[in-house]
Structure 1
Amino acid sequence: MRHCLLVVFFLATSARAADVFTFPLQPGPHAVGMQVKQQYDYSRVYKTRVSLVTGKGTSGERARPMQALVWYPAARGGKQVSFRDYYATAATEADLTRDAATVNRITDTELAEQTEGWPAGAQALTRPMWAVRDAPAKAGTFPVVIYAPGYSATAAENADLCEYLASHGYIVLSSASQGARQRAMTVDVEGLETQASDIGWLIDQASRMRNADLSRLAVAGFSWGGLANVVAAAKDDRIKALVSLDGSVRYFPQMVDGGKEAIPYVTPARLALPMLYVGRRPATIEELNRKKNSTAYSLLNSMTYADMAVVTLHAMRHQDFSSHGLRLARDSEFGEYSRAEVTQAYGVMAQYVHRFLDGYLKDDMAARAFVANKPAANGVPRHTVSVEVRRGSGVAPTRENFAGQLAARGFDKAMMIYEELQAQGATFKLEPHDINGWGYELLHGGMLAESVAVFRFGTQMHPKDANLHDSLGEALAKAGQRAEAIEHYRRSLSLNPKNTNAVERLQALGAPAAP
């Protein structure tokens, strides 16, 4: 019955007036509240001493302004916000000091420009949406979704999707996509890492909400935000699932392909988490060739350690993944597809996102099956959607999993396990000082046999490192293995004749410096 209802909602949408976007799905079981939270992130500087726009000296607070929109399951009742209300929040994203009069003037001016000659009329933008501003939160705890907008976009870019998820029992937080030192985002590594840090800031904000369950955390992103969320996940393994809405992980492969322009820590091994990629209509080989887009590397294909679902919506252009853009688009802009068909596809996207999140944050097996089904089995019109699902396999070759494998299989097998992970594409490096520190942590923690094994692994990895041989000698001596301890102290001394510690240790063991 649920699948039939989906089709009914889509058909109802097609009968609505032209030039008006109406979200095509019904809300979930929860009423939706929405809050706007404003504060500065004093750990980061935002304003430069001299304005990058005017060239004049800046004034006021220089810390990074952070305005977050928060959607959440709420008690019922209250006045619902409109699209105009969401649009107005953009005026304070980079300047938290603007008063209501200034915000209204900016909002009215911009909307008048964007809707000039619009058949639907600007009044269509004042129709109520689902959320109620500052509604009391519903009792209970809920999974958290961080939403990362596209390049330079506002936090409310996909308010319809965020409301929809909140109605199905999610807390959703979003902040604007803005550069490190200015409102405009920059297409570079600094811009990506800045938005990834903003995602981290939103996670911290969620941790302060008593109804937010951070053990069930996902990050969704559109366009540039669909690459920034991958960067965030590579840094923070508390993120349990990723959603990319036609994300730039596909369009900027050089940022993540391991080459000279790539962010070094964004590797398939560090992205061993389920991902849903919902993409636009596929480009032809000729189109890719004209745009000089390389298909030599795909991070999606390389992320083999966790489940991957790629959903292609044939009616969608890149910009159609933003409900903000759909609300301001004219019918004439959709090309060979109608507004109704694009609206239908947007609804399909929203449902796949919802079901994917249910599957991996709520452990709903029926929802996982929905994502893996052929689209027609889910009530989606035939030939409008393509789905490719791949199950993850193997152990991701990370430093963390290396330690886990040692604990499970034995520290004495360190070299064998390390070589196995290297054969799988491990990129983590263990320098002599890393191994030496690791061995002493084990030694001081009372894990003597494990410390011996790690120091021994270190001398196998770096046979000419005098300090590792010295450390192995110390651990062996503590373990009562005198003869081998002497051997490694002598080896250390041969590599570094100035190692007075080795001389003293050999004397304490009653052994000469040379055999």
Structure 2
Amino acid sequence: MARSILLRVALLFILCQLGYTAQAGSGFADLKPGPHGVGFRVVQQYDYARSYRDKTDLVTGKPYAGEQARPMQTLVWYPAQKTGTPLRYADYMRTEATDEVLGRTEAEVAAFMDGRRQWATARLGAKQAQAMLAQRMWAVPNAPATTGKFPVVIYAAGGGGVAHEAADLCEYLASHGYVVLASRSLGTRTSLMNFDQEGLATQARDIQFLLSYAHTLPQADMTHVAAAGWSWGGLANVLAASQDARIDALVSFDGTQHKDNTVAVSRMRLTVPWLYVQRRPESVRELSANDMETSSILLNEAKYADLYHVVMNPMEHLDFSTLALRVAQPDHFTEYSRAEVETAYHWTCRYTLEFLNATLKGNAAGRQFLDRTPAQNGVSPHMARLYHLPAQTDLVPTQAGFAAALAQQGFAYALEVYRRMQQQDPTFVLPESALNTWGYQLMRDAHDLPAALAIFRLGTALYPGSFNLFDSLGEADENNHDPATAIQHYRRSLELNPQNSNARQRLQALGAPAPSTSAN
């Protein structure tokens, strides 16, 4: 009896080891795993800071009594110990059942999966569909995490896409030492994405929610964060990076470039390294047929980003989703074969890995990979082209760029640097209120009185009619033990606004007569 139990235990151990050995082999598109195992978990949570459901269901018109907060079911891939039984591709598809309605019953999930099997069968046939659903992946559900801290990658799905659409890439990155998070691309108020500025802002906020959640993960190195995404998600991550300085690098897979969609993205705030991988180039005739305005393209205008632009000639737009590739019909592959398209996807993942290694990990081999031509890296001739557009080294015309320049050159040169930045970019303007606030922050928070004086002086030079800036400059003069200059500035403030009681009180305290109102 004891020997029988030992044999069963030994057999189970061997099967587990074989299971992980299978996982450790080449993946989709012949991707090779890294040194880590891959763990996977599904976190069902809500963003309670935002609503998703109205009190009236927008589809049925009936009253809605369920949870109104935004559902944010989160898929997490992470470096793990090499143990356990990997999941099947059907397990990824199963997560779709609860990516909007988190509390579905097992019976509802089973019914959903029946529908997905029928969908796959209709496209591939019963035998091939079953093989796809049964495919062994790399990830092991809830596998023990590897010790250490790892850079974080937030993945944004294409418009309306499911969180696992790039599961192969996410597993690949996790095996090479990254924590990867993704959620479904939901619209602002329904499951279908609204392709407008509100929908874009919604997905950008989803990225920020996942970034916030990543802070709770013990493995996450939040000092090194990238945002990646495909199509609509490949633009939403750019918007997020232009608004959130915690994002250190960008990866966009054929992100939309339509002028109307990119209006909200501040070109001047895009200052991080950016890998943009696109499908085969389209002719001007094709672009025009698709209503693509070519005179203003974000890729050309993001001149302060260190841009690596890769063109994958065999790939169409849908080919960046391995879910779409798995069910692609034979007639989808015309000029290039399925094998060539999958090879291009392999290199897309490889470029992503090396770019992240170079930018987030400071890896010299990754930087060398980016510096070589695709052919020098082993890519088949005519499959890919790489364009490197280094970031311009000029001063970045934003308040942050201006402050950085003053920190380096000295606040005494504020007006000179400001004029130079305006020559570089005539749209660069620091509002009166921003300068006044900045001066007080320097004086009261940073305790840097000389810098505060320089900013207030800059403000009065740029806005000579601002009574408030002259009043603030007078206060800074007082703190600088310069009453004579303070009196001059308080008097100028009163000349501009005789109702400024603070300037009148300060002049009285300094023993100086206020200017007569008749002078105005």
- TM-score under structure 2 length normalisation: 0.90
Paired position in structure 2 for 1:322? 321
Identity %: 48
Matches within 5 A, 1:172-183: 172-183=180-191
How many Å apart are 1:401 and its aligned residue? 2.0
Matched with 1:273 is 272
Matching residue of 1:196 = 204
Q: 2:147 aligns with which of 139, 144, 151?
A: 139
Output the CA distance in 2 between the equivalents of 1:117 and 1:408: 61
Which region of structure 1 is more displaced relative to structure 2, 391-400 or 162-171? 391-400
Structure 2 alignment gaps of length 5 or more: 1-26
RMSD of the TM alignment (CA)?
Answer: 1.7
User: Residue 128 of structure 2 corresponds to which residue in structure 1?
Assistant: 121
**Number of the residue aligned with 1:388:** 387
TM-score, scaled to structure 1: 0.91
Q: How many angstroms does 1:58 deviate by?
A: 0.7
1:209 maps to a residue whose letter is L
The one-letter code matched in structure 2 to 1:437 is T
Match of 1:105 in 2: 111
Q: 1:400: Cα distance to partner? A: 1.4
| Residues 73 and 169 in structure 1, CA contact (< 8 A), matched pair in contact too | yes
Which residues in structure 2 correspond to 1:408-419 (within 5 Å)? 408-419=408-419
Aligned to 2:298: 299
Shift of 1:462: 1.1
1:48-97: CA deviation from partner (whole Å, max 9, x where unpaired) = 11111111111211111110111111111212111111111111010001
Give the 3-state SS of the residue equivalent to 1:136 in structure 2.
Answer: coil
Asked whether the 8 Å contact 1:372–1:387 carries over to 2, the reply is: no
Are 1:94 and 2:95 counterparts? no
| Alignment correspondent of 1:331 | 330
Runs (4+) of structure 1 exceeding 4 A deviation are 426-429
Please tell me whether the aligned partners of residues 494 and 515 of structure 2 are also in contact (alpha carbons under 8 angstroms).
no
Q: What CA distance in whole angstroms lies between the structure 2 residues aligned with 1:159 and 1:495?
A: 64
**d(CA) in 1 for partners of 2:396 and 2:452?**
24
Pairing partner for 1:229 from 237, 240, 247: 237
Equivalent position amino acid for 1:514 in 2: P
The letter of the residue matching 1:281 is R
C-alpha separation in 2, matches of 1:447 and 1:368: 39
Q: 1:148 matched to which residue of 2?
A: 156
C-alpha distance in 1 between matches for 2:81 and 2:331? 40
Q: Distance in 1 between matches of 2:193 and 2:294?
A: 25
- Contact 1:272-1:306 within 8 A present in 2 as well: yes
CA distance in 2, matches of 1:309, 1:448: 43
Counterpart CA distance in 1 for 2:100 and 2:109 is: 12
Distance in 1 of aligned mates of 2:401 and 2:288: 40
Does the 8 Å CA contact 2:155/2:180 hold for their aligned counterparts?
yes
Change (3 A) 1:451 1:117: closer
* Distance in 2 of aligned mates of 1:91 and 1:424: 52
CA contact (8 A) 1:72 1:172 kept: yes
Q: 1:267-291 CA distances to partner (integer Å, 9 max, x unpaired)?
A: 2221100000000001012212222
The alpha-carbon deviation at position 451 of structure 1 amounts to 1.9
SS state at 1:115 partner: helix
Secondary structure of residue in 2 paired with 1:28: coil
Instruction: Give 1:399's aligned residue.
Output: 399
Deviates more, 1:366-375 or 1:505-514: 505-514
Is the Cα contact below 8 Å between 1:269 and 1:426 reproduced in 2? Answer: no
1:448 corresponds in structure 2 to 449
Counterpart of 1:420 in structure 2: which amino acid? R
What whole-Å deviation, never above 9, does each CA across 1:330-370 have from its counterpart, x for those lacking one?
22221221111111111011111111111101111221221
Q: How does 1:502-513 map to 2 (within 5 A)?
A: 502-513=503-514
1:507, distance to aligned residue in structure 2 (A)? 2.8
Instruction: Name whichever of 148-157 and 328-337 sits farther off.
Output: 328-337
Hey, what's the Cα distance between the residues in 1 that align with 2:94 and 2:115?
Answer: 11
- The one-letter code matched in structure 2 to 1:44 is R
CA distance in structure 2 between the partners assigned to 1:77 and 1:442 by the alignment: 55
Give 2:47's match in structure 1, choosing from 23, 41, 61: 41
Q: What one-letter code is carried by the residue in structure 1 that aligns with 2:328?
A: A
Segments of 5+ residues of structure 1 without an aligned counterpart are 1-20, 257-261
Instruction: Measure how far apart 1:117 and its partner are.
Output: 6.2
CA displacement at 1:428 relative to structure 2: 5.6
| Cα distance per residue 1:137-171 (max 9 Å; x no partner) | 11111111111000100000010111111111111
The answer (yes or no) to whether the contact 2:120–2:129 under 8 Å persists in 1 is no
CA–CA separation in structure 2 for the residues paired with 1:68 and 1:234: 23
Q: 2: distance between equivalents of 1:55 and 1:437?
A: 48
Contact residue 398 and residue 427 of structure 1 kept, 8 A = no
Q: Describe the SS at the equivalent of 1:156.
A: coil
Q: CA separation in 1, counterparts of 2:123 and 2:469?
A: 76
2:497 is the counterpart of 1:496: yes
Go from structure 1 to structure 2 and tell me whether the alpha carbon gap of 1:229 and 1:206 turns closer, same or farther (over 3 Å shift).
same
Q: Secondary structure at the match of 2:76?
A: strand
| Distance in 2 separating the partners of 1:75 and 1:68 | 21
The structure-2 alpha-carbon separation of the partners of 1:117 and 1:95, relative to structure 1 and needing over 3 Å to count, comes to closer
What CA distance in whole angstroms lies between the structure 2 residues aligned with 1:69 and 1:81?
Answer: 14
Is contact 2:227–2:237 with CA below 8 Å preserved after alignment? Answer: yes
Taking the aligned partners of 1:161 and 1:306, their CA distance within structure 2 comes to 24
Paired residue for 1:308? 307
Shift of 1:403: 1.6
Alpha carbons of 1:372 and 1:111: their partners in 2 closer, same or farther (altered >3 Å)? farther
